Amino acid sequence: MARTICIANQKGGVGKTTTAVNLASALARTGKKILLVDLDPQGNATTGCGVDKHDLERSAYEVLLENQPMRTALQRSTEDEFDVLPSNTDLTAAEVSLMTHPMKERRLALALRPLLPDYDYILIDCPPSLSMLTINALVASQGVLVPLQTEYYALEGLTGLLNTIEQIRNLYNPGLALEGILRTMHDIRNRLSAEVSRQLIVHFGDQVFRTVIPRNVRVAEAPSHGQSVLLYDRYSRGAVSYMALASELIRRHEGRQAPRMPSAS
């Protein structure tokens, strides 16, 4: 049964979509069955997977608003290693339409339910705002992975997101948990980055992933080629880091699922 993880941050420009695409690719390369759901009307995750967002017969919009089965809208990534639910600007209309829709917070959860046995991980790329789309992602997920650029305002924005997660947990999804905080676009030469990184570990401990995603030109170039950085340049620092993140994520889940040994008596 799939573990569903939404990748969210109400602040833009923190590497959210980059993480969604590259983590999907990295997990697929470990042999896991992966579905990436693009829930951002900008459709950047769709483009980053090599799917033409301007030429979609069906997308996230039809799934959420017209009750189309999700399977009929899925496409394969350029790498042919994982599935993608694409999106484009049509999804902008969903922001308003969902407000009057029955079970408006659970549209995505209901659409995903038949696919849960088919995947090991379902990753959801959220828009950089607290919208009805983001709420749908949070309600449909078991975990929230928070990409966080190690900069001055990072901790301030994180507090707001954690409050949102708590509200969703209380109202709609009691099983929702913080999957982890991922430090992105990290510059080891920058003292401020090092200090923010230190503060994150002090405040959140092992909820901060050990893996750090460095600022890397190959990661920035890959989306323009419709590829993950692992396909674009698998030996780059960015590609190596996302493979390390995938391994760390898998180890965490295997640790949680491992049966407890009976105590000696």
Residue 265 in domain: no
Look at residue 73 in the predicted model and tell me its pLDDT.
97
Separation of CA 239 from chain center: 17
CB 155 within 8 A of CB 200: yes
Look up residue 136 and give its amino acid.
N
Look at residue 259 in the predicted model and tell me its pLDDT.
46
Q: What tokens appear for 194 in the block?
A: 């090092």
Look at residue 109 in the predicted model and tell me its pLDDT.
97
Separation of CA 141 from chain center: 10
Domain assignment of residue 32, given as a range? 3-257
Regions of the chain with pLDDT less than 70: 256-265
CB 53 within 8 A of CB 88: yes
Residue 188 in domain: yes
Residue 140 in domain: yes
Instruction: Note the pLDDT tens digit of each residue in 203-227.
Output: 899 999 999 999 889 999 999 999 9
User: CATH code at 47?
Assistant: 3.40.50.300
Q: How far apart are alpha carbons 204 and 201 in whole angstroms?
A: 5
Number of domains in the chain: 1
Look up residue 151 and give its amino acid.
E
DSSP labels, 25-57: HHHHHTT--EEEEE--TT-HHHHHTT--TTS-S
Torsion of the alpha carbons at 8, 13, 14 and 16, rounded to the nearest 10: 40
Residue 262 in domain: no
CB 98 within 8 A of CB 54: no
CB 104 within 8 A of CB 252: no
**Closest of 230, 157, 216 to residue 187, by C-alpha:** 216
Look at residue 257 in the predicted model and tell me its pLDDT.
61
Residue 186 in domain: yes
Look at residue 100 in the predicted model and tell me its pLDDT.
85
DSSP labels, 202-214: HHHGGGEEEEEEE
Instruction: Note the pLDDT tens digit of each residue in 6-42.
Output: 999 887 778 899 999 999 999 999 999 999 999 999 9
Residue 72 in domain: yes
Residue 134 in domain: yes
